[in-house]
Structures are given as structure tokens and as C-alpha cells.
Structure 1
């Protein structure tokens, strides 16, 4: 039998782009396990249902004091949005107009409903899950790899921070448009239609307008070029010029806005030198994969601290481990581009989230930082698992997904409110002063004053330089009526250099309550200098002035407090008393009437108005007021004394005598 000859090929014949290398695993046609991964829409439904089941409990969560209140509850921009406010100004130190548009949309539809905001977060997460599923199907031929990559991404408990924390919506929003931009780019790679290139740029713009972390996308696009062609050419780089220009603009602008908000971008400091930063970056690159593979002891905060100036041994070993992993990734990633792409997908988006600098409190490590990068990790995990026999592989992946789903359900409950999330933090890192301090703050806001004092005290014991704890503990002591302790803490906070109007107000209030009105006035004046529109400060300054004999100043400051808050009952009652003492009975009656319109149950205002009516000779009005006072509170001697005076003026001496006997009975304890 003659052997056929293969026609010789011309050396000048252009070669087709090399396809990514793939393992010899069977394609996703019917499988021995009894199911198949087609049609795609059915598995998209499965992904959606699984995601909802894992996160449904988070829909009952409330707003978090940390950032949710500033972003939603007290943010006038989302309640009354304008184009100028959304797109031409920073909000809370960030330029993220698309994220703020999302908040404004939810507020317009549902008002201040925490459940509505959590529902919107869940919808964004589902959108990201389905985008990952679609993108994985576009990039490689194994539907099983696409499905399990998306499933693990959907259910992993590290995604809870971005999905169950309303303030984390920016991570979801930018990630959704980030993924859509990648999808459009891959479609452009396959079709070369300009429409898809344009859609990719538009989605990228929306992504960086949602969160500046999207600036990494052009580099990941180059990774997709390498994945498709096996190389990156100058033409590939130049084609990304529009993306790189946008990234450069938004990156530089982000640095400037963060510094303008007072968040100094510190690289080297007394706490961390350049070598420390190197170790921290290397350690973080290994920290996230470990948590993704073994998602236990998750927390809103992960300490990165030296002990006596020395890191733990794992920090010093991290560069060596990273070098070994990098060498393996380089070696095997070139042979199998799916492995290479997975590694780059993990590394590139995470690159801007690593602790090169310190910006604020929680900026070292955070679960939400790895949201988009986790796609690369799960792609690598599922792809490598294809070497395992199908029955074992699928059982293991399904088991892993079920475990992740259970942990996500559990962790969603942790994110219910600020107390639960930081109690979880303290349970896992009991010696972290920040966790103790923030738990104490949450307890303070939830009126749990004794536990708040305990956790503030522990924070200070762990780190005496944590001076903000003095302010918080002082407020808890104040609510417990432990005024000397409250004063001491407020004083320590001010001496430590904390300058806030509330702090000076609180120390001033302690001075007043502890009988030191003259010392209170400078504190209250300083508070007014820092925040002139707080009616409470004007009120306490008036009280202090009244106690020092400055009646004109007191009357002026009571009037200012009422101007700022016309329903300030205490200020109205006190000014009414001053008017009464000056025999300005009409003005006194007007103030007491205004106070009673707000709080009809306030006995002192009704009794004082009765006295003003009595002084004007309006006996019937006076009697009606004092009778209501006695009806509301039958053991208040002042009311009986006032009624005795009214009865005496009416000539009802027997009734007057009876009321005076009642006064003696109440005041003598009989």
C-alpha cells in the first residue's frame, strides 16, 4: 500500500495564530456522571438560584454605621441627585459617579430601605457571576470549567464583604462593567468588528467611573492578547492607548483626591520601612490564595503587625515562596496558556490593592480587594482539577461549592450590623485594638454602654496610643452618668490632640454637670468655633452663662439654640423661665406653649405656664394647666403648690389649704 506524500508548504505562507494549549480532557459532551453542561441557559439559571440561596439572608441585614450611614442615610447627594453633584464633584473623598447613581436609583425607588439596597447588591453580584460564566465559555471550550469557575466565584464567603456590605457596592459595580468590557474585547478579538471594541471602551469607562481600581483593565487586555496569540506585540500595546490614557487620568486623579481628603499616601514611615512594605506585599500575594482555598477565620480586619519590631517567620519566608511559585507559573504558564491566564487574572487586578502604601484604617487587606482577582484563582483551581477522574473531580467541586455556600450563608449573618461584624472580628483577633475599638463604638451607638466601656478599655490597654478610644469611652461613661470618668476621658482625648466640636462640647457638658460652669464656657466656645450650627452647644453655653450670672449672654445663647432648632424643648423651657423672672409673661407663655406643642407631657413647662397665667391674672387658664399637670403626674409637689396659689387667688381657701397639705405630705415623704 503506497504512502501518500504530504505537499510541501511554502516558508512564506502566513501561519494562523496559535491556539491556547489545552489538556487532553474530554470536552463537555454527555458525561459519565449522568449530566451534561448544556444548554448554557440552564446552568446560568442554576448559578442564579445557587447565588440567591446563599445570600437571601443578607436581604434582612441593616445599614452599617461604618460608611453605610455616610454613603446612604446622611448623603444628600443620593437623595437629591444632580448631574453636577454626581459627575463634577467628589463624594466622600471618591470620584465614583456611577456607583452614586446606583445608590440614587435605589433611593428613588425604595427610599431609605436597607433591604432594597441589599437586593441591589445581590443583583449586581448575580450579574458578575453570569458574566464570569459567559466569559469563561468564550475563553476556553470546557463548559464544565466555565460552570464551576463561576459557581465557586458566586458562593465563596470572601465575596460576602462586597455583597452584604452596602458600602461595598462600588466593588460590585466596577467589577460588573470590568467583566463586560473583557467580554466585549474577547468578542472583538474573534470578530474584529469595531462595534465590540467600542463597547469594550464604553464599559471600561463605566467601570473606572464606578471605582478607580478598574485602571488595571488595559494590562489584563494585554494578557488576553498573549492568551490568544502567544505573544504581545507593539501593535497590541498601541491598540490599548485609549485604555491606558483613561487609566492614567483616573489613577492620578484618585491619588490627588485621597490626599485632598486628608488620607496621606504613606510608603515608608516609622511603622513600616521599604523592606517592611516588600514583605507585606509578598505576604499578601500568598495570603489571599490561602484564604480562597481555606476560607476560615475571615474577618473585616486582618492585622499586619510586627512584634517588638520583628515580623513573624511567614513574612520572611513569603518572598522565597513567591519566587518558587512565580518560577512554576512562568514555566507551566508558557506551556499551557490557560494556567498563565489564570495566574495573570489573579495578579493584575490585585496589583493596585496591595499594601504598598497606607491609606486609612482598613486599607492593608480586605476580602473585597480580591473580588475580581478570585476569578483567576478559581479558573486555575477548576482547570487543574480536570486532570482528576470525572466522578471524583465533580464530587469534590460540588462538595467545595456546598461548603462555600454554607459558609457564605453563615457569614452573611455576621454582616448584619456593626456590632455583629466587629464582635466577629474580636472573636478572631481578640488582641487587635482596632477591632475592640470599633466594636465598642458599635455598642455605644446601640446603647450597650457597659460592654462599650469594657471594649474601649481593652483597646487602650492593648495600645495606649489608640487615643480615639478615650473619646468613645467618655461618651459611654457620660451615658452611664459617671461624669468624673467621662470628663477624664474627654480631657485625655483633647490633650492627645483630637480636635472635634463634639469632643469640646462633651468636656464642656461635664464641666457644667460637675459644677464648673466657668471652665465649661471656653470649651463650649471652642466647639461653636468648630461647628457654629449645633443648637446643643449654644444651649449648654447658655446654661453655663446662667450659672455664672451672665443672664444677658444666657438669654442670647438660648435664643440662638432655638433659632437653630425651633423645637428645642429644653431651650424653650429655660428661656421661658428667664422671661418669667424678667416679668415678660407673654414671652414666657409663648415659649412654654411652643415647648408643649412638641412634648405635651413635659410637666415643668405646663406648671410654669400656669404660673405665668397666674401672674397675668388669667386664673382659669392657670387652673386648667395645673390640673392637667396633676392629672399627668400626681406626685409632683410644685403642681399642688401652684394650684394652691390659684385657689387662693380665686378665694377658694379650703381647696388651697388642702393642696398645701398635699405639698407637705409629698415633700416630707408621708
Structure 2
């Protein structure tokens, strides 16, 4: 068993870390797509093809997120829009990162001598494994990590951290191996691995740019003792080379433009503010203070902080944050001679967050702590071990701390369980910021709660009157409520603020479509497509709907093909293309499209109704009834399904059921001539001729050119013996293009004496 002990000492910690991570994040695996997930995953056509390297590379203006985006493409390839696959990958990354925290801590603690203290006392080597495991468990359990793990898009942050730590560990192993005789080749392999991992990290998120400086810091603290003069030249040379490499990589890979650094930009962290370099710099001291507070006391977490810019160093919050940050930084530097590991952990925090001093629109996001907290977790685990020499006391204290952190993580993940709950949390904590109300309104809109959606969207508009997205979504609410004139007014407001947004044109075009204002609809869809053809699947689909209404079926078919080419999972486009094939009587193609639409969206009742119509045409009435029953089950207010099921019942001569369905259809579509016409036919079958004439007349009230209604009313009048009216209706039907039997007309003329 002794020979297994070293193996078990490595396997057990890894299993413990992974198990704890799975337990804490199990309740997040079905969390829906949130916030920027819509932009980077749901509405991102670039990730729908694994071979679309160029498209993925160009999603953002600079390629610093390519690797992360490609992992989304892999997720899409295997899981499409099933969030479980995306969350499983994020959780695996979190587990892997925590394991690397354990490896990293073990590597540091294995570097005795030199000791991490300035004293001669033993640096607790017997607790090396326990300290490393504690650091990793603290890391995996801390609730401040939830935003980088549960929020799918922030895989950018977690994956970059994984590469960061892996590269650093490989570098350390390489340095240790090259100092031993005969290990130069292995050391070179580790160095090469570190370089490759660093490059992957740099193309995942730009935070990895701090890696060379972290390597230099590690060299100074742990790999080069001040007393060993012969090594000073070597590590200084290494440090100079690293910094030079860092200076070259930034402009080469990311097209660094100093003008961008100095240019003012709109703040996304506080409505109505413009970011300038000096104000942004001052504000970052408050950000660092918040991050330190969140690590020590993780309460009041918030996805979207309302964080105004600092106007002066001498504002109370800015000044005291500055003093606090400078104090902690000074403490870290002072402690180098007393406790290197705690000093290193604190400096890690500041160094990895130093990229935050480069101005950007979002001043603060909690996921930025994901990398920075590594140093704090290592320092905390070491500090607890230093203070609590008794192993049992150490176990009790760390156990209680882990239980508390785990509880907070589980509770925080509950906030992410739905868009409504998440944005309710945001507006509670940022009540004066418009974006929370905007996204809460969108969440209610998606749930069909239109009154609440309107309430919060209007609140957002009041707080930020110049946000086009707000008016666009107010328009969407009115559109869902069938108030299309009001919707168009809101879309006009949105376009007055932003004429580059294809979605606004597409949405306004859809409102025009439903108002049967087809020229205006076509103009908007054309504009949407011209703005960004690669993202215009919705506009292509809706333009196809216009062409369908105009009976330009070939043009409609071409547009539906374009929509499907851009989004192969677009259920509505398959359904609509199937309808064109149905009109063209290409029934097998129509069935194939309806089948695909239902595979993608099994609850899409319209498609069941459409497929049922094909089965009715093919005389497969049992299949037709099954599909129409399903359509009505999914949507009891589906008028078309009642109409079509009534037609099937007519075909199989179940006239009582047919009449019940057509009555229901007339309640739901009180001005639809088709309903009255087919109910009139049913009355004829039941020999209720007066009722039939009433329904045919109602049909003609709503469509005076419905020739078939004139013809059937003519037949009914003839049955009732009113040949004069029968002749008048037959002649009217003929004048409208209906092919009236000549023998029938001759009989009517003869009966009336009309020649």
C-alpha cells in the first residue's frame, strides 16, 4: 500500500475539488441563456459552422476572444441551444482551474528552501498538501466565482484563467527542470507548452497579457534568492526578455491604438456619463476596494452595478478607497521580507487586475475577480495554516468557512435560475440604472407578461431616454398585443436614435406586414438585410412572408432558403417554406420541412396544423386529426386548427363535430370569410339550408369577391326553389372567374324564363 500512497495523495484532492464543484453548481446546469449569451451564442451566426474560422475571428473588432468563441461553436455543433452542454463545459473549466490552483500552490510550497518567511523556522512542509487543497477548495467554493461559471458568456474569463494557470505551472516546471542536470529537454518541452498555452489564453481574453509580469514576479519571489548573486543576472535577463516580449505582443496581436486609450466613451456602468482617462483611473481604486470587500465579505453581489465615475481623488469614497488600496499594496510589499507567500498573493491580486486601468465602457464586473482571486485564495489558505498550527483547529475553521462559502454559492446560483429573477435582483440593487429595467422588461416580454414588460420598459426609457433598444422592445410589446400602429411609433423612435440596427427595421417591417402594408414591410426588410446580411435570417424569413401574401411564391421560397442557410435551426423558416411547398402541391417536400420544424420545436402548434392540412389533402384523415388535435392541445386558441379540423370532420361526415369546430373558429376569427363559407357547407350537409344561406351571406360580407360562396349560395337557393336568386348568384360567381357548369346555368335560365 505504501507505493500507492503518493498516487492517492494526488488523486484524492483532485476528486474532492471536482466533487465539490459539481455539488455547488448542480443547480445551475439548466440556467437559461442570459444577457450577452444572446449576442455571443443565440443570435451569433458565426458559431453555427465549425469551419467558419474567418467569421468567428471577425465577431469582434479584435481577435482576443477567438478561442472562447470557437468553444461556443463546438458547443453549438454538439448541443445546439441545449444549455446543459454549455454549462457542463463551463463547470469542467471551473473544476480544471481549481485543480490548477491546487497544482500551483503545491509547486510554490515545494520550493523550500528558500522559505516563504524571513525566519529560519520550518515553513509547515508537512501541511503542503492540506494547504494546497484548502486553497483550491476555497477557490472552487467562493460565490464570487459564480458570474464566471454560471454566466455562459464569461467562459472567456474562466477559460483564460485556465490557460493562465496552466501556462504558469508549465513555466515553473520548466524552470525547475532546467536547473537540474540532464533535464534540459524536458524543461524545454514545458517552456514550449507554457508559450502555447499563453497564446491560447491571449486569444481567449486579454487579461492574459499580465502573464509575463506574473512570471517575472514569481521569478523574483520564489526562483531567485537575493543572496544568490550568481543567479541575479540570469533572472534579470529573463525578466527583461519577458517584458520586451509583452511590449511587442500587445501592438502586434491587438493593434493597440493609444488614441483609443485617450478617447472619451459612453459609460455602460452609469447612465449619462462619459468616460475619460483621468476619471476612469480614479474610479478603479473604488473598483479594487469593492473587489477586496467581495472576497472578504461576499454579500450584495450584482450582475450590473450602477457605478458612477469618480470626479476627484478627494471625494470621500474615492479617497478612502485609494487609502485602502494603497495600504493593502504597501502591506504586500512590506510583508515580502516576513511572509513571501501572503505578499505574493496580494500582489497577484493587484497585478492581474492592472488591465482594469485600461479604459473600457464597463467599469466593473464581478467575473474579473476570477483570476485575481487565485492569489487571495492561496494567501488565505497559507495564512490560516500559519495562524492555526493545530491541525484539528485548522480543519474546523476551514470546514466552517467552506460550508459558509458553499451555501452562498448555491444561493447566488438560484438568482441566475431565470432571467426574471436575475434582473429583479439587478433592479433591486441598481434601482436608478436603466439597463436592469430594460432586461427585466424583455424577460417579461418573452414570458408573455405584456403589462409588466411595458411597465419596466417604460421605466427604463424614463431613466435613459436615448437608448434605442428600449423603444424597440416597447414596440415588440405592442406588436405582441396586436397594437401595430403603436408598435410602429415606438420603432420610429428607436430608428431616430439608431439607424444601424437591423432588428429595429425587421421588427417594424413585421408590424407593417401584419397591417397588410406590404410595400412598407418590404422596404424595411430590404434595409435590414442590406445592413447585415449574415445576421438577417429573421428579415429574410419575414420578407418571405410578404412574398407569400403577395403570392410571389418563388421569391418567398428563395428568402426562406436564405433564412435557413443562415440559421439551420430556424423552425419558423422550415414551417414557412413547407407552406410554400404545400401551395405548390409538393407535398413530400412540405412534409419534410414540417417534420424538421417539429424536430427543432416540438411545441410549435402552427406546424402541426399545417402538416395536418397536407394529410387532409392526401386523404389521410386519421393523421390529419392527430396533428390538429395536437395543435389545439398546444394552443386552445388556435383558430386555424379548429377550422381545419372542422374541414376534416366534414370529409368524414361527422357534421356535428365539424359544426362545433367551425363555431369555435368563428368565435376566434369573427370576420374570416372562410369560416362562414365552410360552416355554410356543413349546414347544407345537415339540410339546414336557411342557416347555410346566412353563413354564405356573411362570408360575402367580409369578402365580396369570394366566387365560391356565390356559387354555393346559388346551389342552396335552388334547393329552396328560389331559382331567380340562384341564377343571380351563379352569374355573379361566373363573372368573378368561377367555372360554373353551363348545363346548370341553362337549367336556371329555363326555370326563370331568362334567355
> How does the TM-score come out when normalised to structure 1?
0.74
Matched, 1:120 2:93: no
Aligned to 1:284: 287
Structure 2 residues without counterparts, runs of 5 or longer: 1-7, 110-124, 179-183, 266-272, 562-572, 595-606, 618-645, 667-672, 702-755
Offset, 1:519: 6.4
**Cα separation, partners in 2 of 1:660 and 1:603, compared to 1, 3 Å:** farther
Offset, 1:666: 9.8
Instruction: Select between 593-602 and 437-446 the one with higher mean Cα deviation.
Output: 593-602
Aligned to 1:218: 212
Equivalent of residue 560 in structure 2, options 541, 545, 565 = 565
Q: Distance in 1 between matches of 2:486 and 2:52?
A: 49
Classify the secondary structure of the residue corresponding to 1:476: helix
Classify the secondary structure of the residue corresponding to 2:289: helix
Asked if the contact 2:437/2:457 (under 8 Å) is kept, the reply is yes
Q: Distance in 2 between matches of 1:528 and 1:110?
A: 28
Aligned to 1:139: 108
Q: Distance in 2 between matches of 1:257 and 1:591?
A: 56
Q: Distance in 1 between matches of 2:686 and 2:319?
A: 93
Offset, 1:376: 1.2
Instruction: Select between 629-638 and 187-196 the one with higher mean Cα deviation.
Output: 629-638
Equivalent of residue 191 in structure 2, options 179, 197, 213 = 197
Q: Deviation string for 1:520-542 (max 9, x for gaps)? A: 67545544543676345535766
Q: Distance in 2 between matches of 1:173 and 1:103?
A: 12
Offset, 1:211: 2.7
**Cα separation, partners in 2 of 1:519 and 1:251, compared to 1, 3 Å:** same
Matched, 1:60 2:12: no
**Cα separation, partners in 2 of 1:638 and 1:118, compared to 1, 3 Å:** closer
1:64-143 equivalent positions in 2, closer than 5 A: 64-73=33-42, 75=44, 78-82=47-51, 84-85=53-54, 89-93=57-61, 94-107=63-76, 110=79, 112-140=81-109, 141=125, 142-143=127-128
**Cα separation, partners in 2 of 1:272 and 1:330, compared to 1, 3 Å:** same
Matched, 1:50 2:50: no
**Cα separation, partners in 2 of 1:318 and 1:560, compared to 1, 3 Å:** same
Q: Distance in 1 between matches of 2:176 and 2:687?
A: 104
Aligned to 1:538: 543
1:425-574 equivalent positions in 2, closer than 5 A: 425-510=426-511, 523=524, 526-527=527-528, 529-530=530-531, 534-538=539-543, 554=550, 559-565=554-560
Asked if the contact 2:202/2:208 (under 8 Å) is kept, the reply is yes
Q: Deviation string for 1:547-583 (max 9, x for gaps)? A: xxxxxxx555x6523331277888999x99xxxxxxx
Aligned to 2:358: 356
**Cα separation, partners in 2 of 1:667 and 1:136, compared to 1, 3 Å:** same
Instruction: Select between 376-385 and 212-221 the one with higher mean Cα deviation.
Output: 376-385
Asked if the contact 2:676/2:699 (under 8 Å) is kept, the reply is no
Offset, 1:422: 2.1
**Cα separation, partners in 2 of 1:419 and 1:564, compared to 1, 3 Å:** same
Asked if the contact 1:145/1:382 (under 8 Å) is kept, the reply is yes
Q: Deviation string for 1:52-97 (max 9, x for gaps)? A: 22112222323x14343454455565553238559x9344454444
Equivalent of residue 171 in structure 1, options 153, 157, 165 = 157
Asked if the contact 2:279/2:309 (under 8 Å) is kept, the reply is no
Offset, 1:384: 3.1
> How does the TM-score come out when normalised to structure 2?
0.67
Q: Distance in 1 between matches of 2:574 and 2:74?
A: 35
**Cα separation, partners in 2 of 1:258 and 1:480, compared to 1, 3 Å:** farther
Offset, 1:207: 2.5
Aligned to 2:662: 634
Offset, 1:277: 1.5
Equivalent of residue 301 in structure 1, options 304, 314, 330 = 304
Q: Distance in 2 between matches of 1:447 and 1:249?
A: 53
RMSD (Å) for aligned C-alpha atoms: 4.4
1:256-295 equivalent positions in 2, closer than 5 A: 256=255, 267-268=263-264, 271-295=274-298
Structure 1 residues without counterparts, runs of 5 or longer: 1-37, 547-553, 577-586, 610-622
Q: Distance in 1 between matches of 2:311 and 2:489?
A: 30
Q: Distance in 2 between matches of 1:345 and 1:308?
A: 28
Offset, 1:642: 6.1
**Cα separation, partners in 2 of 1:432 and 1:233, compared to 1, 3 Å:** farther
Aligned to 1:17: none
**Cα separation, partners in 2 of 1:535 and 1:198, compared to 1, 3 Å:** closer
- Number of residue-to-residue matches in the alignment: 585
**Cα separation, partners in 2 of 1:237 and 1:90, compared to 1, 3 Å:** farther
Aligned to 1:344: 347
Q: Distance in 1 between matches of 2:75 and 2:674?
A: 53
Offset, 1:298: 0.7
Q: Distance in 2 between matches of 1:348 and 1:565?
A: 52
Q: Deviation string for 1:136-182 (max 9, x for gaps)? A: 12212342432222211110011111111222222222222221222
Equivalent of residue 660 in structure 1, options 693, 706, 710 = 693
Asked if the contact 1:640/1:660 (under 8 Å) is kept, the reply is no
**Cα separation, partners in 2 of 1:331 and 1:647, compared to 1, 3 Å:** closer
Aligned to 1:365: 364
Offset, 1:222: 0.9
**Cα separation, partners in 2 of 1:602 and 1:311, compared to 1, 3 Å:** farther
**Cα separation, partners in 2 of 1:325 and 1:397, compared to 1, 3 Å:** same
Offset, 1:219: 0.7
Q: Deviation string for 1:256-290 (max 9, x for gaps)? A: 4999xxx9666545723333112112112222111
**Cα separation, partners in 2 of 1:274 and 1:71, compared to 1, 3 Å:** closer
Q: Distance in 2 between matches of 1:130 and 1:89?
A: 30
1:142-153 equivalent positions in 2, closer than 5 A: 142-143=127-128, 144-153=130-139
1:242-257 equivalent positions in 2, closer than 5 A: 244=243, 247-248=246-247, 250-252=249-251, 255-256=254-255
Asked if the contact 1:125/1:172 (under 8 Å) is kept, the reply is yes
Asked if the contact 1:175/1:372 (under 8 Å) is kept, the reply is yes
**Cα separation, partners in 2 of 1:277 and 1:396, compared to 1, 3 Å:** same
Classify the secondary structure of the residue corresponding to 1:373: helix
**Cα separation, partners in 2 of 1:181 and 1:110, compared to 1, 3 Å:** same
Q: Deviation string for 1:462-518 (max 9, x for gaps)? A: 222333211111111211223343233212112223432332343345456668777
Aligned to 2:738: none
Offset, 1:340: 2.2
1:615-626 equivalent positions in 2, closer than 5 A: none
Asked if the contact 1:595/1:605 (under 8 Å) is kept, the reply is no
Matched, 1:180 2:166: yes
Q: Distance in 2 between matches of 1:502 and 1:538?
A: 13
